[in-house]
A and B are shown apart, each in its own frame.
Chain A
Amino acid sequence: AQKVTQAQTEISVVEKEDVTLDCVYETRDTTYYLFWYKQPPSGELVFLIRRNSFDEQNEISGRYSWNFQKSTSSFNFTITASQVVDSAVYFCALSEWETSGSRLTFGEGTQLTVNP
């Protein structure tokens, strides 16, 4: 069975601080996909990134970066120089390779609050 753990339930930072959201996963599959989604107060889940299990290169997109370490089953997400608009719930998710990455198992989410 697949499982995603986001140990940080809530994080509060002051604007311009860097913040890292942790994600640890469990799966018996050797190939799989990992995702991060953002859920602002409006409720819609916004796709941020997808990584496949054989690509361990870190990725940077603007102020966002992701660190994937297969050895520790972790896929952490860092926001650099946080802004108030980053306030949201962030979900890490895992999916089977066979479904092409679209049947998702989500973690419980981390509520990020960025204060001005």
Chain B
Amino acid sequence: EAGVAQSPRYKIIEKRQSVAFWCNPISGHATLYWYQQILGQGPKLLIQFQNNGVVDDSQLPKDRFSAERLKGVDSTLKIQPAKLEDSAVYLCASSLVAEAFFGQGTRLTVV
């Protein structure tokens, strides 16, 4: 079974630029999550989708972050404009019932 796919693996951008990350969940998993993991910390939930609807985006900085999950499968997370403090690993996860399965993440460096 294929795991959660994310791209790109690494991205370096200058502050005030925009960036987008892509996630393809495990086939059949209705729930998809985006987490932000700052170096040395545990992941923090940004947004949760159930199919193509948002379940929880209370932790998403909506002035600069946006996410969508068209057709209830793939998802994209966008940051515009990026700030230095957005440097982190962005992890996508999906779940069918309980356990969340994670991708390898996208490491974003904002300079």
Would you call B99 and A109 a contact (CB within 8 A)? no
- Contact digits for A24-61, partner B, Cβ 8 Å, 1 yes 0 no: 00000000010101000011111100100000000000
CB nearest to B48 among chain A residues: A103
Is there contact, CB below 8 Å, between B100 and A104? yes
Residues of B within 8 A of A (CB): 3, 31, 33, 35, 40-45, 48, 55-56, 89, 91, 93, 95, 97-105, 107
**Bound-state Cα–Cα, A108 to B44, Å:** 10
Binding site for B on A (CB under 8 A): 4, 33, 35, 37, 42-47, 50, 91, 93, 100-109
> Is there contact, CB below 8 Å, between A44 and B97?
no
- Are the CB atoms of B98 and A43 closer together than 8 Å? no
Q: Which residue of A lies closest to B93 (CB)?
A: A45
- Give chain B residues whose Cβ lies under 8 Å from the Cβ of A103: 33, 45, 48, 55-56
Shortest Cβ gap from A61 to chain B (Å): 14
Determine the distance from Cα of A81 to Cα of B99 in the docked complex, in whole angstroms: 27
The answer for the CA separation of A90 and B8 in the assembled complex, in Å, is: 25
CA distance A4 to B41 in the complex (A): 12
Q: List 18 A-B contacts (CB under 8 A).
A: A4-B42, A33-B98, A44-B102, A45-B93, A45-B102, A50-B98, A91-B43, A93-B42, A101-B99, A102-B31, A102-B99, A102-B100, A103-B48, A104-B35, A104-B100, A106-B42, A106-B44, A107-B42
